[in-house]
Chain A
Amino acid sequence: MKDVLKFKNVSLTYQTANDEIKAIDDLSFSVKDGEFVSIIGPSGCGKSTILSLIAGLISPTKGTIEKSNDDVGYMLQKDELFGWRTVIKNVYLPLEIKKINDKEKKEYADHLLNKYGLKKFINSYPNELSGGMRQRVALIRTLVFNPSLLLLDEPFSALDYQTRLSVCDDVYKIIKEEKKTAILVTHDISEAISMSDKIIILSKRPCSVKNVIYTHLDGDTPFFKRESKNFTVYFNKIWNELTYEKN
């Protein structure tokens, strides 16, 4: 399978009023089409910065980033739905921004809402929905213009544990069914193992790749993968990588 994203020796230094901060140092990795990749690392190591680089919001100081397609969908920690817009209007937002008035795209949005159990709520306002539903709407909003690459920036961290597990399953299912490539940034080891095919472990700042782990687990959903035998093996491996780092 071909690479949809390739980081080649990327470094990033940014300036603040007090200091010059080296956030990323010689970072190289690639993501293949259809892969679900997690990026995990100590907090403050610049995980979110990597997503900003991929989304093109900032440019690297050194190195290159190759993307097969410019369309990326970005999902943030909170759903960030606009409270004054109905669900359907929230989902159409990216189309409005890109000034696309395409019947097909709108039908695709409607289709996704129907498929993932939100048909009844298209004219509701976000505050009438549960946390899990809101996160599903946020994902569909990201999928509307059919991005080839999804960037997930700790999208479950604002949810309570129970909702988190079920939204994890929902999001995983939607991403697999719609055949998307996804990059998940998280500091939750179990979440990374249960969702991804490949886990990139980062060192602390300035971050670079410390190790890459490919996971092979039984079970088709993140929830069942958590019960798989190998789960703890992977968990301990990643735990050690991250803990040694801190010393």
Chain B
Amino acid sequence: MKKTNYSAERQKYLLGKKKNKIFIISCRILILIAILSLWEILATLNVIDAFITSSPSKIITTAKKLFAENNLTYHMSITLYETFMGFMISAIFGYLIALLLWWSENLRNVLEPYIVVLNSLPKIALGPIIIVWFGAGIKSIIFMTIIIGIIVSIITMLNGFIATDNNKILLLKTMGASKFQILNKLVIPSSVKTFISMLKINVGLSWIGSIMGEYLVSKAGLGYLIVYGGQVFKLDLVMTATVILCFMATVMYLIVAFIEKKISKS
């Protein structure tokens, strides 16, 4: 980045850009503060019933209490483990299956209706079957996460592979490239962007999968806390778990965004 010798117009332009950026960020923070303080004030003044709506201060107290009892980290780690396992397995296997389907057009055509059906099926409907097959535990939840993520991963990646520029394939063929070389030198590197967007979609789906799994069957985890809190009418607990969930999902998304930046730079 050059710093010196900007013309007056350029400086004005840059200053304007910077001001605008500061404005946007301030607005974002202000909205958050406004919502939180409104929530808190209305709850303190008893305009809204804090028993039903909870309040920011109560959320902090609950979080502190849970944390002190060492429960919070336990629940967080359970959910994180399920989400992460589901994410990794559906990303890796989704990628490999998509490769296989790219490789064999016949296999792709044969399996197409199955993929369409599996994609449109609401996976939660399989809940009871999964519980019977895998038992009432983490295994079921991870499996739920996988089936929610993997179909979309396969479809996204396969579309990315198929979208490879035909002229580039022709070019490699004129050089005498084998199918494996076309895959290795062209199809995989040219679909890096699709790979990243597959990861991004998968982050969201994995959280849906793990929380939905915990709703169905669980003894621990943030989803469990939310369901349990709802059943015993501890809305403080529900809100606390939800806020923490927001936080964790954002961190995971940011990690993927960071990987994206690293990859697209190189």
The residues of A with any CB-CB pair to B shorter than 8 Å are 55, 57, 72-74, 76-78, 80, 82, 84, 93-94, 96-98, 151
B177 contacts the other chain (CB 8 A)? yes
B181 contacts the other chain (CB 8 A)? yes
Indicate which residue in A74, A78, A84, A96 contacts B174 across the interface (CB closer than 8 Å).
A74
Give complex CA distance A151, B190 in Å: 25
Indicate which residue in A80, A97, A151 contacts B181 across the interface (CB closer than 8 Å).
A97
Name B's interface SS: helix
Give complex CA distance A93, B168 in Å: 12
State the Cβ distance, B2 to closest chain A Cβ, in Å.
18
Which residues from chain A contact B173 at a C-beta distance below 8 Å?
A: 57
Give complex CA distance A72, B29 in Å: 63
- Is A97 within 8 A of B177, CB to CB? yes
B89 contacts the other chain (CB 8 A)? no
Which residues from chain B contact A73 at a C-beta distance below 8 Å?
A: 174
B256 contacts the other chain (CB 8 A)? no
Which residues from chain B contact A57 at a C-beta distance below 8 Å?
A: 170, 173-174
- Is B170 within 8 A of A82, CB to CB? no
Give complex CA distance A185, B213 in Å: 61
- Is A97 within 8 A of B167, CB to CB? no
Indicate which residue in B171, B176, B192 contacts A98 across the interface (CB closer than 8 Å).
B176
Q: Scoring B residues 172 to 191 as 1 if CB is less than 8 Å from chain A, else 0, what string do you get?
A: 11111100010001100110
Give complex CA distance A97, B182 in Å: 9
- Is B168 within 8 A of A97, CB to CB? no
Indicate which residue in A72, A74, A84, A96 contacts B171 across the interface (CB closer than 8 Å).
A74
State the Cβ distance, A134 to closest chain B Cβ, in Å.
14
Indicate which residue in B167, B174, B192 contacts A77 across the interface (CB closer than 8 Å).
B167
Name 16 extra pairs, CB < 8 A, besides A84-B189, A93-B185, A97-B175: A55-B174, A57-B170, A57-B173, A72-B174, A74-B175, A76-B167, A76-B170, A80-B165, A80-B167, A80-B168, A84-B190, A84-B192, A93-B175, A97-B177, A97-B185, A98-B176
Which residues from chain A contact B176 at a C-beta distance below 8 Å?
A: 97-98
State the Cβ distance, A145 to closest chain B Cβ, in Å.
8
Give complex CA distance A242, B168 in Å: 31
Of A72, A73, A80, A97, chain B has the most CB atoms within 10 Å of the CB of A97
Give complex CA distance A82, B190 in Å: 8
Which residues from chain A contact B171 at a C-beta distance below 8 Å?
A: 74, 76, 80
